[in-house]
Amino acid sequence: MQLYTRLYDYIYDYQKLIYDYYSKTATAFLVTYYHLDLEETIWDSTKLTGGYYEKIGELSGVRWNKILLLPVFFIENLSGSLTGEDIGMTTEKETSIVIPSTYNFRPYPNDIIKLDQNYLQPNREIDVYSLYVVSGIERSTPLPKTFYKLKVITEQSRTTNEIDQQVSNTYSFFEYTKFVYSVPDTMFLARVMLKNETLRRRLKNLYDENSGFYFL
C-alpha cells in the first residue's frame, strides 16, 4: 500500500507542476485579448442562428471585454500561404497559443488577439499589427484545471481602432496575483504593492541584527 501511495502521489506532483507551477512561471508572451462579452452583445436571432451577422463595424452588435497585458504561452510558428480571392490576394496565416484556466475566464471562438510587435515593427503604427481570431479551442483535460490551446488565424483588413469602438469593459492582468481585474482595481492593487514595498524597505532599515529589535 505504501508503494502504491508513493507512486500515485507522483501523479499528483506532476499535475501540480503542470497546472499550478507552469501556468504561472513559464515564459510568457504579452497580448491584448478581446474577449466576447456575452451579456452586452446584441444577438441577431435567438431562435434561428443565435449569432450575429457583422462581427466588426457600425452595423455590428458584438461587444468585447478588452484585457490588457495578458500572458499567453507556447506560441507556435506561423503557417499558411497566399490565396487568390475576389478581393485580391490574401494570406491566411495560422498558429496556436496556450492559456491556462488559472486566469479564471474561458476563451470563446471568434475572440480576437493582438500580439505585441513593437520591436519587430518600430516604424509602424501600433494599431496596424496583425490581429488573430480564435478559430478553434482544445482543452488538455475536461476538468476545471486545464489548459486551453487556441488555434488562431489572421483577421483580414481590421485594426484595433475599429474593435475599440465596440469595447464594453476594459480589464488588465495583474502579474502578482495572476488574475484579471478591472483597470481601476489593477491600479489600486499596484499602489498597494508599491506602498508595501516602501514599508518593507523602511522596516529593514530600522532592524538591528545584533539585538533583533526594530528601533523606531
Find which of 44-48, 104-108, 121-125 is predicted with most confidence, using mean pLDDT: 104-108
**Which of 25, 62, 51, 23 has the alpha carbon at shortest distance from 148?**
23
pLDDT at 78: 75
Dihedral angle computed from the Cα positions of residues 32, 138, 177 and 105, in that order, rounded to the nearest 10 degrees = 70
Phi, psi of 8 (to 5 degrees): -75, -35
Residue 161 lies in a domain: yes
Residue 197 lies in a domain: no
The domain of 108 spans 26-181
Please state the domain count of the chain.
1
pLDDT at 48: 47
pLDDT at 73: 87
Is the pLDDT higher at 47 or at 213? 213
Prediction pTM value: 0.80
Residue 124 lies in a domain: yes
User: Could you tell me the pLDDT band of residue 113, with boundaries at 50, 70 and 90?
Assistant: very high
